[in-house]
């Protein structure tokens, strides 16, 4: 296949664009790359784990003042524990198996390198 004929969206499926979130929200299947900005505490709810099977969701946080963002499932994932983004530049990568959400990578910028679970 020549480079001129390469259509990444067709070859790789949907390539998500960045979603910017500043208040409580429930994600849909197209909001896979998420930048959150928080000055207060609020939550993001992941999409249905079955519908998101095989999908990756990445989060990066800008946390100001006493802000914090809880990442929670919608009650349908086996073995889920909420994650807390409560420091600037906290980030994580999640994957849905269709049965449960897995934390593939997580980084807390508070010096511990480990995100809080709640």
Q: What are phi and psi of 70, to 5 degrees?
A: -95, 130
Full-model pTM: 0.82
Alpha-carbon distances of 1 from 8, 9, 13, 24, rounded to whole Å:
12, 15, 17, 44
- For residues 78-82, average pLDDT: 92
User: Tens digits of per-residue pLDDT, 101-115?
Assistant: 999 999 988 777 677
Tokens of 104: 């593939």
Using a 10 angstrom Cβ sphere, with 0-12 exposed, 13-18 middle and 19 or more buried, the burial of residue 16 is middle
User: Tens digits of per-residue pLDDT, 27-66?
Assistant: 999 999 999 999 999 999 999 999 999 999 999 999 998 8
Distance of alpha carbon 59 from alpha carbon 8, whole angstroms: 23
> Is 3-117 a CATH 3.40.50 domain?
no
Q: How confident is the model at residue 14 (pLDDT cuts 50, 70, 90)?
A: low
Using a 10 angstrom Cβ sphere, with 0-12 exposed, 13-18 middle and 19 or more buried, the burial of residue 73 is buried
């Amino acid at each position: 296949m020549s480079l001129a004929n390469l259509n990444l969206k067709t070859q790789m499926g949907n390539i998500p664009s960045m979603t910017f979130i500043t208040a409580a929200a429930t994600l849909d299947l197209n909001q896979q790359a998420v930048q959150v900005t928080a000055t207060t505490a609020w939550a993001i709810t992941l999409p249905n784990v079955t519908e998101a099977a095989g999908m990756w969701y990445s989060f990066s946080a800008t946390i100001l003042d006493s802000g914090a963002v809880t990442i929670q499932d919608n009650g349908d994932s086996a073995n889920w524990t909420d994650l807390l983004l409560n420091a600037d530049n906290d980030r994580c990568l999640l994957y849905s198996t269709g049965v449960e959400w897995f934390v593939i990578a997580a980084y807390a910028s508070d010096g511990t390198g480990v995100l809080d679970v709640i």
